[in-house]
């Protein structure tokens, strides 16, 4: 008789989030499908573009870049709205009483919810982007072959090796950069009874307004914008300066990135906020 399988509460807690929030994978998949559909229509002119492509013409790469960008933007929005509803939803539908009756700690539950934007969504985005781009490359290769064009002319202009190296690296960096944002949204989700989006935006906007009126400066709003969007620059530009995009493997500098105080300071703040979320969930009742 085989040994009884060990119970894995964290694993099943993450699976629960996927069951309850299907947008985690459906929304990125839909964005990738739309990008793929648009590309398939554009292949009507692909043979002419490949035949007339010049060495510095990046138009053949644009569909791949745009599809990746669109999927990542949808993933960013999904992560924001997921975090805002993750704890509030179980209080609103009163399922929190059921979940608290199970032998799963509040710490495990909160960490599982945090793992969705930090680990699960980046993995989903990577799979969708790579899958869509691979189909695009295969289909475009078939198109140029059917038109009697050497596919090498396509492959020299559509070289995805660098992009497929930068993507997983960039998705991890961006997720770590946004960790304090996700933790803040989870805190609001567990605390607010309704209008979580407004409660999440209210304090930083109030501080920004006060600073602008009192000191005629904009440090708060610039900090908020940098924390929300700066991860993309940190992940996909040379030395994280947001000025020059990564154009070669030598431009990738993980030592500089992962030694950044912005990354570690953000993770420290995220840890403190998550500790507050765990304590908050222990005392919250259904709405």
pLDDT band of residue 10 (cuts 50, 70, 90) is confident
A 10 A CB-CB count for 15 gives 12
Does the structure show a pLDDT above 90 at 260?
A: no
Q: Is residue 1 part of a domain?
A: no
More confident residue, 18 or 49: 18
Tell me if residue 237 falls in helix, strand or coil: strand
More confident residue, 157 or 272: 272
- Tell me, what's the pLDDT at 58? 66
Q: Is residue 237 part of a domain?
A: yes
Does the structure show a pLDDT above 80 at 18?
A: yes
Range of the domain at 119: 9-283
Query: For 145-182, how does the pLDDT look when each residue is reduced to its tens digit (9 = 90+)?
Result: 888 787 887 787 888 888 898 899 989 999 999 999 99
Q: Is residue 3 part of a domain?
A: no
What proportion of the chain, given as a percentage, has pLDDT over 90?
39
pLDDT band of residue 111 (cuts 50, 70, 90) is very high
Q: What is the pTM of this model?
A: 0.87
The domain tally of the chain equals 1
Q: Is residue 2 part of a domain?
A: no
Q: Is residue 147 part of a domain?
A: yes
Nearest to 204 by CA among 187, 223, 217, 188: 223
Q: Is residue 4 part of a domain?
A: no
Residue with tokens 């920004």: 208
Nearest to 33 by CA among 124, 166, 133: 133
Nearest to 201 by CA among 220, 218, 173, 177: 220
**Residue 19 structure tokens:** 């069951």
């Amino acid at each position: 008789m085989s040994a009884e399988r060990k119970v894995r509460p964290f694993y099943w807690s993450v699976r629960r989030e996927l069951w309850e929030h299907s947008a985690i994978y459906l929304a990125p998949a839909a964005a990738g499908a739309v990008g793929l559909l648009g590309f398939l229509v554009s292949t009507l002119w692909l043979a002419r573009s490949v035949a007339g492509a010049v060495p510095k013409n990046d138009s053949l790469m644009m569909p791949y870049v745009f599809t990746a960008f669109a999927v990542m933007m949808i993933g960013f929005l999904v992560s924001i709205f997921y975090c805002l509803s993750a704890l509030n939803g179980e209080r609103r539908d009163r399922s929190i009483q059921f979940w608290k009756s199970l032998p799963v700690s509040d710490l495990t539950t909160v960490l599982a919810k945090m793992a969705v934007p930090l680990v699960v969504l980046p993995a989903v985005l990577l799979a969708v982007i790579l899958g869509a781009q691979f189909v695009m490359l295969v289909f475009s290769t078939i198109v140029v072959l059917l038109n009697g064009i050497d596919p090498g002319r396509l492959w020299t202009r559509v070289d995805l090796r660098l992009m497929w190296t930068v993507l997983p690296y960039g998705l991890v960096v961006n997720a770590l950069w946004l960790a304090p944002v996700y933790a803040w949204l989870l805190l609001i989700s567990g605390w607010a009874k309704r209008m979580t989006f407004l409660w999440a935006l209210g304090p930083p906007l109030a501080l920004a307004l006060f600073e602008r009126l009192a000191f005629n400066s904009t440090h708060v709003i610039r900090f908020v914008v940098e924390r929300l969007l700066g991860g993309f620059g940190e992940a996909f530009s040379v030395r994280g300066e947001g000025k020059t995009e990564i154009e070669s493997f030598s431009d990738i500098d993980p030592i500089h990135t992962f030694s950044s105080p912005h990354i570690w300071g953000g993770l420290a703040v995220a840890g403190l906020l998550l500790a507050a979320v765990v304590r908050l969930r222990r005392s919250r009742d259904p709405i």
